[in-house]
């Protein structure tokens, strides 16, 4: 169904943040909090059944769908001093250093020159030890909500299933309202609109074509459209080019078919997707995990859903001897890419969020840009 299926795992809600790590399953999206974990599955067909589901799909294919018994309205709590202790700004290690990343950009340009691919997303995963093992990802969510608000922000806390995620994603992977589905691919990033280049617009159009093709595999003929192309959206510290692709699911197509057709998201892979994935596998030295996967919710009773692309996303990895906080950043590479500029774009995307996670935003009221 997804690229590589692996076993998975999940946790609920407490209205106030405290100093002790909370282990209760929880999902938080927008002004909603889901609690009372009922069941967990890796089968996307369950999303066609009933109830409210939190969904997390790793880029490599692990899928976790967690159904909750209760959903209530609740805004993200204000940060509690001392509830979150994050890594220092200088504590982060990168899966690719600047030299390796720049070399990777050059290698992708060689693949483009050879006609193997038009665009490929090159990413790196940052990780840093957490100062305290009691870190609660929902406390980080409170900081992100103030320091880097995002349209698809969310939290899934399922520690018994290896899922502790806080996202400040600006990008829509898939939304659903009945039989209507929509995707909002982002391609093109700058500090201001004046920073956006012709290369950014061309890159966006390429990915829109890819997403149209993905949705066209499961949507009724003639229903896939592009209501918005290369719209400029402002986000904290940067701007993006964002397009909208919309279609109506064909009869008999549901979540299993939709996820199979669209995953992993085209904006974080490249075009053609199969060639880009092969190049990514060869150049990247660390699994992306939740980064560049999908994070969001499905309300099976109402037939609605909103899954974000897992960018601007933190997750806690407790598989090693000490817990790590992880974060991914990357850039889309085309023939017009300048290697040093692409590295700088990955730094731009990460800098504000790493400052928030360090607690610098809480202490100073601003973050580095």
Is 187 designated active site? Answer: yes
Structure tokens that stand for 111 in this block? 């693949």
Q: Which of 75, 98, 171, 199 is catalytic?
A: 171
> Looking at residue 80, what is its pLDDT?
86
Contacts of 303 (CB under 8 A, 6+ apart): 176, 177, 178
Q: Are 314 and 63 in contact (CB under 8 A)?
A: no
Q: Low-confidence residues of the chain, pLDDT below 70?
A: 1-20, 133, 360-369
Q: Which of 187, 199, 273, 349 is catalytic?
A: 187
56-69 pLDDT, tens digit each: 999 999 999 999 99
For each of the domains in the chain, give its residue range(s) and CATH number, in order of start.
Answer: 26-364 (3.60.120.10)
143-171 pLDDT, tens digit each: 999 999 999 999 999 999 999 999 999 99
Is 347 designated active site? Answer: no
> Looking at residue 23, what is its pLDDT?
86
> Looking at residue 188, what is its pLDDT?
87
Structure tokens that stand for 15 in this block? 């209205």
> What DSSP assignment string belongs to 279-330?
HHHHH--S--TTTTSEEEEEETTTTEEEEEES-SEEEEE-SSSS-EEEEEEE
Q: What is the CA radius of gyration of the chain?
A: 19
- Cα–Cα distance between 221 and 204 in angstroms, integer? 23
**What predicted TM-score, i.e. pTM, was given to this entire model?**
0.90
- Helix 198-216 and helix 255-262, axial crossing angle in degrees, nearest 10: 150
- Cα–Cα distance between 277 and 285 in angstroms, integer? 13
Our CA angle for 147, 82, 31, nearest 5°, is 45
């Amino acid at each position: 169904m997804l690229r590589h299926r692996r076993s998975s795992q999940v946790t609920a809600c407490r209205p106030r943040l405290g100093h002790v790590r909370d282990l209760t399953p929880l999902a938080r999206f927008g002004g909603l909090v889901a609690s009372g974990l009922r069941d967990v599955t890796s089968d996307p067909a369950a999303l066609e059944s009933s109830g409210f589901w939190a969904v997390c799909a790793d880029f490599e294919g692990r899928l976790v769908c967690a159904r909750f018994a209760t959903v209530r309205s609740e805004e993200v709590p204000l940060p509690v001093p001392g509830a979150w202790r994050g890594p220092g700004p200088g504590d982060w290690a990168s899966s690719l250093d600047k030299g390796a990343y720049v070399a990777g950009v050059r290698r992708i340009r060689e693949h483009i020159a050879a006609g193997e691919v038009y665009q490929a997303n090159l990413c790196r995963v940052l990780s840093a030890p957490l100062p305290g093992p009691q870190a609660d990802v929902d406390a980080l969510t409170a900081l992100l909500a103030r320091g880097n608000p995002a349209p698809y922000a969310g939290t899934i806390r399922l520690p018994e299933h290896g899922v502790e995620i806080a996202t400040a994603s600006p990008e829509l992977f898939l939304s659903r309202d009945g039989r209507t589905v929509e995707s909002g691919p982002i391609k093109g990033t700058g500090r201001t609109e004046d920073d956006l280049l012709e290369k950014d617009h061309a890159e966006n159009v390429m990915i829109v074509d890819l997403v149209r093709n993905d949705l066209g595999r499961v949507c009724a003929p003639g229903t896939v459209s592009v209501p918005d192309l290369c719209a400029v959206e402002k986000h904290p510290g940067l701007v993006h080019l964002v397009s909208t692709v919309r279609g109506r699911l064909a009869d008999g197509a549901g979540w299993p078919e939709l996820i199979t057709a669209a995953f992993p998201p085209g904006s974080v892979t490249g075009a053609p997707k199969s060639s880009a994935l092969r190049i990514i596998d060869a150049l990247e030295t660390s699994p992306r995990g939740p980064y560049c996967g999908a994070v969001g919710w499905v309300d099976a009773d109402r037939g609605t859903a909103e899954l974000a692309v897992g960018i601007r996303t933190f997750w806690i990895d407790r598989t090693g001897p000490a817990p790590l906080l992880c974060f991914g950043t990357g850039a889309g590479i085309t023939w017009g890419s300048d290697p040093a500029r692409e590295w700088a774009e990955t730094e731009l995307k990460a800098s504000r969020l790493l400052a928030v996670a360090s607690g610098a935003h809480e202490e100073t009221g601003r973050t580095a840009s």
